[in-house]
Amino acid sequence: MFENFETLQKISKDNVDVALKSFGAASKGIQAIASEVVDYQKKSFEDGTAAIEKFFGVRTLDKAFEVQTEFYKSAYEGFVSKATKIGELYADIAKETYKPIEGAVAKATAAVKQ
């Protein structure tokens, strides 16, 4: 009976360790995403401010359209670039979060087969 209890305790401890590793990986990934979002917001604000300053300095309608088009193009490219990077970070979170669980499942499967 005590052997079963000790086995149950070990399994419980292993499961807690796996959960902590998984949560740690998720936390680290979420921090990386938050950092990327803050960087993007800061750059977006700075670029928008610079475009407004540049826009107020123009003297012709053609130049105004040029400044506006340039700003929209760079804003779109920046958005697509950051969105791609953040998507990759989400994929990395999923992979890193699943790794400890995958190891535990493989270990449990091997134990059941014996």
The more confident residue out of 1 and 104 is: 104
> Of 96, 112, 80, whose CA–CA distance to 29 is shortest?
96
Residue-level pLDDT at 2 = 59
Q: Mean pLDDT throughout 8-31?
A: 86
Round to whole Å and give the CA distance between 13 and 16: 5
Q: Mean pLDDT throughout 9-32?
A: 87
Residue-level pLDDT at 102 = 83
Average pLDDT of the chain to the nearest whole number = 88
pTM: 0.75
State the helix-helix crossing angle for 61-113 and 2-56, rounded to 10 degrees.
170
Q: pLDDT tens across 1-18, in order? A: 557 777 777 777 888 888
> Is 60 exceeded by the pLDDT of residue 84?
yes
Residue with tokens 């803050």: 38
Residue-level pLDDT at 99 = 84
